[in-house]
Amino acid sequence: MKKTLVYLAALLLTALSCGTKDPGAPAPYGTLPTKGQIDWQRQELIMFYHFGQATFSGWDGENPSCNGKPWTAELLLQNYAPATIDADQWVKTAADNGFKEVIITAKHHDGFCLWDNPESTVDIANEKCKNHTDVVKAVSDACAKYGVNLGIYLSPWDRMIEAAGYDIDTYEVMYKNALKDLMTKYGKVTEIWFDGNHAGAFNWPAVNEVVFGINPDCVIFSNGGPGCRWVGNEQGEAGETNWSTLDAVGRKLTPGHMEGDYKTFLGSGDEGASRWVPAESDFSIQQIGDPNGWFYGADDPRKTASDLMDIYYKSVGRNSIFLMNVPPSDKGVIDAKEVAIMEEFTRMRTAVFGTNLADGATVTATNVRGSKYAPANLLDGDYDSYFATEDDVTDVDIDFTLDGEKTFNRVMLQEYIPLGQRVKAFSIAVKFDGVWTEWGSGETTTIGHKRIILGETVTTDAVKICINESNACPVLNGFGLFNDTVSGL
Ligand code: FUL
């Protein structure tokens, strides 16, 4: 009897103490990113380098001929004529401006290779080539020096393969060998770019295996992934609603194959889909047009720093990546014009995002999972510390009592994507004279890694985020208030 009483008392004590125990982290929701995809997304800014014979001829392989002359190996080797190649300056420019990865066109559509491709003689190793610098190596060395990640673009479309008349199976073997060579010779490759333009009908899962066999964390870009997806346009603009998951069922989203309303679904992703394939938003600092625009053009119109801010808001600010092409010039450097635009863009970003006006705020929420998941975690700057609600709560208001009156016109929110993308509707309110007023353009949709909302300039000491709908308890790790007085947007 005595024993039973002691046992019951112990049970009661355990039950009581459970109420105050850490409930544990929220269970992951739905499809999750890999470690490689999380690291990739956190980079936010990636720089593209289109460099090759087109830098000198002004014509890229997308054109049926080179200024009227048919595409031949002789012509490519003759066209490619760099006196110097300062890859150190290319990558330093990227690093100085906050870019965390650069992607080099090891081979573009024309077929000319910037490294000694074991499967081709139309490359920098050819004795007829005027400059034998291994450009992929030069970029990779500079990446190591400046702590920047390396990405490699290997065009499936190849004018030299077409000219030689190889069948697709033979070409697939050659392509895989070239890929293996690139994946093994230049250190860690963070991203591989399979351009969809005229890509052949390879056995793509087998091609992907070559990459994964060497680096399982490598993020493979193509129209539909598997690592990241094209955003559906080349203006760097993601959908306001942007799920990082994408449905593959019933869609043939391999490089070279697009279907249906791809501009829409690649921009917005698919809620609750079974593959994690976030959107990458590519565009060029120089205007894209004929005969080319991805390669350097001395007289090509340039985007302004303010244009770049607009694209930043529409890519990084919509759960995507800002992938900007900055083509090195025929002098083998990033031209002073491009450097100046980038520096101005960096000055603008620093002026806007250098100070988080929410810092020092007192944060409360209508539901908190437990002290470890307190709403104050939204402001601690630690990626892995987050605010979360209890499991069955998918609707929560988070109140920020600011450290005095603040003036702002941008609101930033971040979801902790290692546990999945959850939020599907939220709104923002600000307090004027004790009354809450909706701010921004009303209720909006997804958050993902980062969402930046643009709205009118207001001065207030209280802001409220209302998560109105979420597929599982919300898990948020960042919040910011910023004032953009520089971009003119
Ligand atoms: C496109 C290509 O056709 C362009 O030349 C460029 O490389 C761009 C990034 O992708 O599809």
Mark whether 429 and 375 lie in a shared domain: yes
Question: Is 488 domain-assigned?
Answer: no
The total number of structural domains that make up the chain: 2
Mark whether 305 and 217 lie in a shared domain: yes
Residue closest via CA to ligand 1's atom 2 equals 197
Rounded Cα–Cα distance for residues 489 and 485 (Å):
8
Contact 39, 230 (CB under 8 A): no
Q: Which of 158, 191, 197 to mutate to test the pocket of ligand 1 (most atoms within 8 A of CB)?
A: 197
Question: Is 247 domain-assigned?
Answer: yes
Question: Is 374 domain-assigned?
Answer: yes
Mark whether 325 and 377 lie in a shared domain: no
Contact 93, 49 (CB under 8 A): no
- The answer to whether the CB of 195 is under 6 A from ligand 1 is yes
Q: For 253, list phi and psi in degrees, rounded to 5.
A: -100, 55
Contact 455, 441 (CB under 8 A): yes
DSSP states along 58-73? S--TTSSSBTTB---H
| Structural domain containing residue 202 | 35-353
pLDDT band at 254 (very low <50, low <70, confident <90, very high): confident
Residue closest via CA to ligand 1's atom 6 equals 294
Query: Does residue 14 register a pLDDT over 70?
Result: no
Mark whether 388 and 252 lie in a shared domain: no
Question: Is 398 domain-assigned?
Answer: yes
Residue bearing the bigger pLDDT, 293 or 225:
225
> Which amino acid is present at 474?
P
Rounded Cα–Cα distance for residues 376 and 368 (Å):
11
Q: Which of 294, 300, 323, 325 to mutate to test the pocket of ligand 1 (most atoms within 8 A of CB)?
A: 294
Terminal alpha carbon distance of the chain: 77
The CATH number of residue 399's host domain is 2.60.120.260
Query: Does residue 356 register a pLDDT over 70?
Result: yes
pLDDT tens per residue across span 137-149 = 999 999 999 999 9
Nearest ligand 1 atom to the CA of 61 is 5
pLDDT tens per residue across span 258-316 = 777 888 899 999 999 999 999 999 999 997 765 567 999 999 999 999 999 999 999 99
Rounded Cα–Cα distance for residues 387 and 312 (Å):
26
Q: Which of 1-5, 15-19, 432-436: highest mean pLDDT?
A: 432-436
Mark whether 76 and 189 lie in a shared domain: yes
CA 176 to centroid of ligand 1, rounded, Å: 20
Mark whether 72 and 210 lie in a shared domain: yes
Query: Does residue 20 register a pLDDT over 80?
Result: no
Mean pLDDT lowest among 61-70, 260-269, 372-381, 403-412? 260-269
Question: Is 489 domain-assigned?
Answer: no
Nearest ligand 1 atom to the CA of 48 is 9
Listed residue (140, 68, 133) closest to 104, CA to CA: 140
The CATH number of residue 309's host domain is 3.20.20.80
CA 313 to centroid of ligand 1, rounded, Å: 22
Rounded Cα–Cα distance for residues 214 and 192 (Å):
12
Question: Is 20 domain-assigned?
Answer: yes
Q: What's the pLDDT score for residue 293?
A: 77
- The answer to whether the CB of 385 is under 6 A from ligand 1 is no
**Averaged pLDDT of the chain:** 94
- The answer to whether the CB of 62 is under 6 A from ligand 1 is yes
Question: Is 176 domain-assigned?
Answer: yes
- The answer to whether the CB of 282 is under 6 A from ligand 1 is yes
Mark whether 168 and 257 lie in a shared domain: yes
- The pTM of the full predicted model, rounded to 2 decimals, is 0.94
CA 197 to centroid of ligand 1, rounded, Å: 7
Residue closest via CA to ligand 1's atom 7 equals 294
How far lies 369's CA from each of 42, 170, 381, 388, 447, in Å? 26, 57, 20, 6, 20
For residue 28, what is the DSSP state? P
Rounded Cα–Cα distance for residues 264 and 384 (Å):
32
- The answer to whether the CB of 399 is under 6 A from ligand 1 is no
DSSP reduced 3-state for 34: coil
Domain stops at, among 338, 353, 368: 353
Query: Does residue 209 register a pLDDT over 90?
Result: yes
Nearest ligand 1 atom to the CA of 325 is 9
User: Beta partners for 408?
Assistant: 458
pLDDT tens per residue across span 51-95 = 999 999 999 999 999 999 999 999 999 999 999 999 999 999 999
Mark whether 141 and 269 lie in a shared domain: yes
Residue bearing the bigger pLDDT, 183 or 249:
183
Domain stops at, among 353, 377, 393: 353
Mark whether 289 and 158 lie in a shared domain: yes
Residue closest via CA to ligand 1's atom 5 equals 294
φ/ψ region of 235 (left if φ > 0, alpha if ψ in -120 to 50, else beta) reads alpha
Mark whether 291 and 341 lie in a shared domain: yes
Q: What's the pLDDT score for residue 19?
A: 46
- The answer to whether the CB of 338 is under 6 A from ligand 1 is no
Mean pLDDT of 209-238: 96
CA 118 to centroid of ligand 1, rounded, Å: 24
Domain stops at, among 353, 369, 403: 353
What does the block give as tokens for 384? 């892995």
Nearest ligand 1 atom to the CA of 196 is 11
Mark whether 18 and 138 lie in a shared domain: no
Mark whether 227 and 94 lie in a shared domain: yes
Q: Which of 11-20, 152-161, 199-208: highest mean pLDDT?
A: 152-161
